[in-house]
Amino acid sequence: MDNPLHSEFTEGIKEALQNNNQALAAAKIQEYLDQQNNTPLNIAITGETGSGKSTFVNAFRGIDNSDEKCARTDENTLEVISYPHPNYPNVTLWDLPGVGTTKFPADKYLELVGFEKFDFFIIISDTRFRENDVKLAQEIQKMGKKFYFVRSKIDNDLRAEERSQREFDEKKMIAQIRENCIQGLQQQGVESPKVFLVSSFKLQLHDFPLLHKTLERELPAHKRNALLLAMHDINLEIINKKKEAFQAEIKYLATLSAAVAAVPVTGLSVAVDVALLVGVVTKYVVGFGLYSSSLKSLAGSTGVPLKDLTAAIHLPLAVTKITPFLILKLLSQCVSTAASTAAEEESRYIPIIGIPAAMGLSFITTYRALSTFLNMLAEDADRVFTKALGLNTSV
């Protein structure tokens, strides 16, 4: 289903351009991009004490349990605590107190935690889902909100079963645990419960990818992009979807560049374009997890040496500080882009046709540059993920 806000912005931008109002078009494009990048997404994480809520919050945010910004895993959650995503602060995970305590009784729980601000609830248990979990789910349903059951610490269960069984079959065991959870919830009155088996230390395994697909499918259109960008590269499909989302923005960014090119000031367009490229390429690097702390975390969770992951990265943007000098250096290595930039500066002073020509060249230059950087960084992300999991495939 199309996002009505997207259509509204698109029509406004088109109308401004048709009326030759570059300033208005640029303002509307910037408003659209800000709306895309700052859409709030609030995820409530609840469950009994010790169920693995805090570890799940940290894993989702890509933060190690030892990080100073982590949700504390060694103490009870007694208050509603917010944990913004470190790279996408518009995405917030809320660690909620356990339901059924003296301070948060089941019948008043949603009211006390402020249910209206949450987009959906994840109910976590490390064993079986209990009566309070079911009561909470039923109350959430009455309020018209979505909820999902997550069975955490599944890796612990699998290790225990493997030690106790002579002929261990992991797939059968996972299917059995999932079926037991579903039957238990149905017996307590939950219709068609959605249960996902997750290891917070290895999100790429088991049901976490399926959880993401389900959330993506059931979220409103304007919230999906926020979820996608905050998501780890847990599979090659995520990398490809991120690339598609970034690619969809390039035409708007190139149009912004063209609007600046209409201002007849020597060097202004190039300066703005380079600043724009630095910001957008940085966004790509962060989005694909090609920065130091993310690579270290991936190395730790997969056991693949950090140097091997770094070696899979071909574009120097991914392993060094992104600066205007570095962007210009890489642009200069692309003959067509460098030539277009020079032609743009020269063409703006041609009588009558100068400004339109400069705008067209600026659009092309920015579009090509961003597309090139995006393709190369997506390929790097593909190689890093493939290396991390020992795969032999590509996006």
Binned at pLDDT 50, 70 and 90, residue 234 comes out as: confident
CA gap 83, 27 in Å, rounded: 32
The pLDDT of residue 148 is 96
The pLDDT of residue 217 is 93
Can you give the pTM of this predicted structure? 0.80
- Is residue 394 pLDDT above 50, yes or no? no
- Is residue 56 pLDDT above 70, yes or no? yes
The pLDDT of residue 16 is 64
- Is residue 73 pLDDT above 50, yes or no? yes
Question: How many C-beta atoms lie closer than 10 Å to residue 18's C-beta?
Answer: 9
> Hey, what long-range contacts does 6-10 have (CB within 8 A, 24 or more apart)?
6/32, 6/221, 6/222, 9/35
| Residues whose CB falls within 8 Å of the CB of residue 249, separated by 6 or more in sequence, listed in order | 33, 36
Q: For all residues of the chain together, what is the average pLDDT?
A: 79
Binned at pLDDT 50, 70 and 90, residue 260 comes out as: low
CA gap 389, 103 in Å, rounded: 44
- Is residue 381 pLDDT above 90, yes or no? yes
Tell me the average pLDDT across 183-209.
Answer: 90
- State the residue for tokens 């070696």: 311
The pLDDT of residue 219 is 94
* Nearest residue to 35 via CA among 27, 23, 24, 43: 27
**For 162-208, where are the E strands, in sequence order?**
195-197
The pLDDT of residue 359 is 53
CA gap 269, 280 in Å, rounded: 16
Tell me the average pLDDT across 106-114.
Answer: 82
CA gap 144, 161 in Å, rounded: 38
> How do residues 121-172 score in pLDDT, each as one tens digit?
999 998 889 888 898 898 888 888 999 999 998 888 888 877 877 777 888 8
Binned at pLDDT 50, 70 and 90, residue 13 comes out as: low
Tell me the average pLDDT across 268-273.
Answer: 48
- The least confident of 47-61, 225-239, 358-372, 376-390 is 358-372
| Residues whose CB falls within 8 Å of the CB of residue 238, separated by 6 or more in sequence, listed in order | 209, 212, 228, 231, 232
Tell me the average pLDDT across 63-75.
Answer: 73
- Is residue 334 pLDDT above 70, yes or no? no
The pLDDT of residue 70 is 82
CA gap 263, 113 in Å, rounded: 52
8 A C-beta contact, residue 119 and residue 148: no
Tell me the average pLDDT across 297-326.
Answer: 84
> How do residues 279-291 score in pLDDT, each as one tens digit?
888 899 999 999 8
The pLDDT of residue 119 is 95
Cα–Cα distances in angstroms (integers) from residue 204 to residues 87, 227, 231, 334, in the given order: 20, 16, 11, 36
- The least confident of 100-114, 234-248, 264-278 is 264-278
The pLDDT of residue 69 is 76
